[in-house]
Structure 1
Amino acid sequence: MSNPGASSKITGFLGKYKILIAFLVLIIVISFMTPNFLSWRNIINVFRQSSIIGIMAIGATFVIIGGGFDISVGSLLALTAAMVVGLQSYMHWFPAMLVVLLVGAAFGVANGFLTSKIHIPPIIATLGTMTIIRGIVYMYTGGYPLYVDSEGFAFIGNGYVGPVPFPIILLLALVALGQFILVRTKFGRYSCAIGGNKEAARLSGVKVDFYIIMTFVMGGVMAAMSGVVYASRLLSVTPLAGQGYELDAIASAVIGGTSVSGGEGSVLRTLIGALLLTMITNAFNLIGIDLYVQYVFKGLVILAAVGFDSFYKARS
């Protein structure tokens, strides 16, 4: 005879720690399949490869928790990466970086305004801005790659602090900041409340439209920061930069346990989700599995994460 209480406890435990369990199981399986996987060099490589998507996924987490979706961030990465390179012909790289962060925030305001004030569904609003931004990228670059040779700027994407690459330090610092904002600030609490029940939050006196816009601003700023790291890492930008990155950022958040219906999520778990995706790609490359198979497997992982979340909510 089954024990409903024990079953409920097991379901609750799996629901709470599913991403961590999956992460640990994947590490164990891959380490048996590829002995070099747990080498220090490869671990650092996985973290560094996760830095650009991981930073973007921080912003995606806030947007999804607030009940929205932003598929324009890949194009925004391309625009800000191109701008931070192009502006260095006229100014030092640091003020150029500040300018592109403001550009990211401005597009976040635009996306949030279209969603909250004009009431365009988030995925449609950001589909429109995604197309507009990609067109601006082509106009800005003229369709040609842009290059930069600033050593100071190159440090952001290629520098080291001791044995640790600077992009990893930047990623971890932004994850810590994002988690603090989500858990300890009014902005974070209200974002969860709005994503959980927008009308209840409105009746409680929360300025719903303002905080929805702010979640998109967070998404825009993090996308711009990803653009800076991208340009610094490659020291060049093409008009095609960032294509598909928005899907990986959203997938990282969802795999990390951010509810697609809003109201629930964690920046720390999003980091694990980003690492999980990168580990899968890294392991498949080490094993020699074809790129097309990797896409299929990644899609199955995303469906499994969303399916488990939906099943767990239905059981609860």
Structure 2
Amino acid sequence: MADRTPERLVRLLGMVAFLDRTDGATVEELAAQFGVSARQVLDDVDLLWMTGTPGYFPDDLIDFDAASLESGVVRLTQSRGMGRALRLGTREAVVLVAALRALGESVGAALDAGERQVLASTLEVLSDATGEAASTVDVQLALEADPEVVGRARAAVRAGRRVHLRYVDAADRTSERDVDPWQLVTGDERSYLQAWCHSAGGERLFRLDRVLALEVLDAPVTHPPDRATTPTTFAAEAGHERVTVELSGRARWVAEQLPVEETVDLPDGGFRVTLPVSSRAWLRRLLLRLADDVRSVAPPAAATDAAAAAARALARYGEPAPGQG
């Protein structure tokens, strides 16, 4: 699966810092260090070679020893300061304080003890460093959901209790099910309850704004998350349909925010992505949202389905209102 931008950015910065402390490392050593393929390491080096500080002239760019790279060794010759500890200004520190408080508010209860300690200690250091500026920051993370549902979900996560949901899915079907809640997660401008669904027999993400009712049960959670293997976002499966969409450059966020499996950049600034799709309803909404930027879709049936939905919606605008004949 293709990297998302935040994941690759962390790896790129880590790679520069790692190489800055050594006299070089083989491509295979870097691949093992960062858990990626040798091909990905070379792609990362190519990207870093074109990265640097404002000005972006040759002397402003991160540089490597080309002769060493030809022999399979990555040797950093100019880090442009990327290997040094980050120095934050007051405004930047306050922004991080706000982000960490939001993180603690949204998912803190679902973190393990070690993760909570790291979060708390980092927040304490930043708050002390910014002094009175940090005390003026008041973060309230807004979730598009019934506050009572959100409160009960958080309480269930903290207590490790099973919950009973009344839920409306993407196809507007209402169902009732028992789930073992794991954590609240936020992504693509929505918030979700990540849980083990006893009806489906597997992990599911439930959009909180689609939960009509949530009851905390007396039964304990019997399917806890496996933190070593369980992702916090959608995970593609072999049985999911693969859809290829060609888009204009304005829709670049699709490649960065959605779980795409392949991204191909096109000469005119557009790009082509392959998406694993578990729900045709989700794909239909995505294509309608991207309508002005969609160039082609394969298989064609996916485009036909979205076009039919758009036609039905447009037809409704021409229907007379009730009582007007």
TM over 0.5: no
Q: TM-score, normalised by structure 2?
A: 0.23
Q: Which has the higher strand share?
A: 2
Q: Which has the higher contact order (CA 8 A, sep 6+)?
A: 1
Larger radius of gyration: 2
Q: Which has the higher helix share?
A: 1
Q: TM-score, normalised by structure 1?
A: 0.23
